[in-house]
Amino acid sequence: MHAAVDEQATSWTFAEGEEIVPGRHAVRLLGGGTRHEAYLAWDTRLHWLVVVKLLRPAAADEGARAALRAEGDALAALAHPGLPRLFGGDPAGERPHLVLEHLDGPRLSTVIRRYRPALEQALPLALSLCAVLHYLRDEGWVHLDVKPKNVILGAPPRLIDLSIARPLDTVDAIASPLGTDAYMAPEQCDPARFGLLGPATDVWGLGVTLYETLARRRPFPEPDPSAPDLARRYPQTACTPEPLPREVPAEVAGYVLACLAPEPADRPAPDELAAGLQQVEARLPRPRLGRFRPS
C-alpha cells in the first residue's frame, strides 16, 4: 500500500511499514522543514535504518528539486567522519528524495536548551567541528549553515544539512542573503557590501555556535525594528558581540570572539582555531579515578 500522491498536500502521511520508495519502508516521521520532511526508514538492501529526506508534495517545484539535487551532489562529493553519508536517492522522481545515514544522537540545539554543556564537553565538540570545516576548506566547499540545530551529538559529532553548501568556485554568484539569520556572517547578510563568502564564513557560524554552547544565548541582540534597514534584520552587521559569561576562561572567550571578527580575513582558519583550543584542552584537569577497594 502506498500513500496517495496529492500535489496540494503539505505532508506525506506514511504509516509504519509503508513503502516510501522501493526498498525503503517508513518507521516514523522524524520532522522536517518548509520544503521537506524526514522519515526514519528501514532499508531492505542495506538491512539497516536510514533517513529518507523527501520534498513535501506541494513543494516539489523545479527550484526545490534543484536544491535537493545539489545537496545530494555535495554529500556524494564529500567524505569525512564528521559528515553524514549518502546512500542514494532520486531528486527527479515522483517522490523526490535522498537516502541518508541515520545518526543516533540529540541535536546540539536541544542539549543547549536543556542544559549548559561544560567546557570539558564544549572543547572536544569544537575540535570535531574544526576538523570538518578544515576538510571542507581543503576540498573547496563552504557549508554556509553552521548552527547548533545542524550538529548531531554522537561519536563523532556530525555537521549535517548541506542543502545550501556550495563549491568555493561558485560563491561569487551569491548576491542575496543566504543562511539562517542569527548565524550568518556579515558577508552572508549582504554579499555586495561585505565581500565574498568563503571558509571564514563557516568559521563565523562556528563562533556563534560555540558562543551559544558556552553561554546558552547568542552573541548579538535580537533584531531591532528601529535600526537601519540591514541592521534591523541582522544586528551582527552593526553590533559587537556581548561578552561571554565570566566563568568562561578568557583564553577560550578570546578564540570564540576571534571567530566573530567582522572582517573574514581577521578570523582564524579552522586548523588555527583547533591548535589553540587543543592547548586549552590539554591544560584542563583530568578526572581522578578512585581506586577499587575490596568490600
Report the residue count for the chain.
295
- The 10s digit of each residue's pLDDT in 67-79 is 999 999 999 999 9
The residues with which 204 forms a beta bridge, in sequence order, are none
Q: What angle do CA 97, 185, 203 make, to 5 degrees?
A: 80
| Nearest alpha-carbon partner for 133 in 210, 220, 195 | 210
Cβ atoms of 78 and 136 within 8 Å: the answer is yes
- The 10s digit of each residue's pLDDT in 103-161 is 999 999 999 999 889 999 999 999 999 999 999 999 999 999 999 999 999 989 999 99
Cβ atoms of 37 and 12 within 8 Å: the answer is yes
CA dihedral over 142, 144, 146, 152, signed as positive or negative: negative
| Nearest alpha-carbon partner for 85 in 128, 117, 49, 116 | 49
For 259-287, what is the mean pLDDT? Answer: 93
- Bridge pairing between strands 36-43 and 24-32: antiparallel
Q: How far is CA 106 from CA 58, 110, 231, 274, in A?
A: 29, 7, 33, 24
- The 10s digit of each residue's pLDDT in 12-31 is 999 999 999 999 999 999 98
Alpha carbon 93 to its chain's center: 26
- Bridge pairing between strands 48-55 and 86-90: unpaired
